[in-house]
Structure 1
Amino acid sequence: MSWHDAPGTAVVTGASSGIGWEYATRLAARGWGLVLVARRAERLDVLAKEALKEGAAGVETLVADLGGPEDLSRVVERAAGDDIDLVVNNAGINGYGPLSEVDAGLLTRVLNVNVVALTALTRAAVPGMPARGRGAVSNVASLPAFAGGLPPDPLPRRAVYAGSKGYAVTFTRTPAAELAGTPLRCRSSAPGSRRPSSTSAPGTPR
């Protein structure tokens, strides 16, 4: 999170817990303004108060399910704003389970959140950044994105999830190359993951 000399305004999706929460509070501590996106309004309210306490320049909350086209459209519009300097695409769901058994509707949601929303928000944010001479997109993937290099090979119960995270890594490489030599950045990260247990609920937000 050291792409800019001065703080700006960041959109953070999946902000209500985990990695998104960490991004939000650390950016807040550096004086960034925040647009926090998640499905759970009560968690966003708690985070907004915490971010202001940490030193955020301002906090806006957007309650949205990125798996739905109407909510996604609202967040895409905000990410395209001329005040946005950083978009953190952290929202994701897992859809764990044997491919032959997982509900097809759930797998569609996994792709809508992990692939479609990530792509749309990246596309929304990047065009306005060159004129401002600053900007970054950070796409959060996961170690299962590299399933071919990890035991067991392939990963059981995570076909669509791992594929969606592989997409996040591969997709990010092209805009990163296109922005080479400019002050703009597009990057992906692959945090570690826990092996899903038999009690893991399919569709649990990551």
Structure 2
Amino acid sequence: MESNLIIFDQPVLYAEGLSKLLSQTKILDNIQVCSCYLNLQHFLESENIDLLMFSSNIMMLSEIYQSVDEIKQKNPNLKIIIIGNDYDVTSIRKLFNKGITAYLDKGSSFDEFIDCVQALLAGNVFLCTQAKEKMISFVSNGKTLEVTQTKDSLTKRETEILVLICDGLSSKDIAEKLFISINTVETHRKKILTKLNVKNSVGIVKYALENNIIE
């Protein structure tokens, strides 16, 4: 199955440079560059797009919120990567609530971007190291986010797997890391989804952000 990415960013020179670097990795079949929102809407309507990289260079945060809402309503299966401009924890959380699948910060490296793309192609979500560090700092300063109450608390193993899911690891990767079978990982994953009352890995990341358990 082909994998297609749109890079929605400015300046065009930077976006085209990123496109060429990504082409060399051969992990994506088609990469297109777009710098106009109207053109982006046309691409999404007329072509089969899997991934969208949405940069904060091109819009203010409030505009990104609105655009992600609009895009996800029309393209619910589209996986959106946001490249943020040093956004705070609350803003990142809101972006995931809007429906993004991955968050990278402007300080993220190209290698981390590749890790992000591979995680999304494998059906996982991704949160960059820099954003996780902000979460740790947020919590260590005594701040809290609104806590989501769950019917049943997670076990120690389920919490461990939850963190690895937030790291973008696939069930196979988690199984290898924890020395357990893939079937065991899938069983834990299903229990996590049931306990948190969420439908997918995006919901798991939201829960982790809201409950300050990403480390």
TM-score range relative to shorter protein? 0.3 to 0.5
Higher helix share: 2
Structure ranking higher on relative contact order (CA contacts 8 Å, 6+ apart): 1
Name the TM-score, length of structure 2 as normaliser. Answer: 0.37
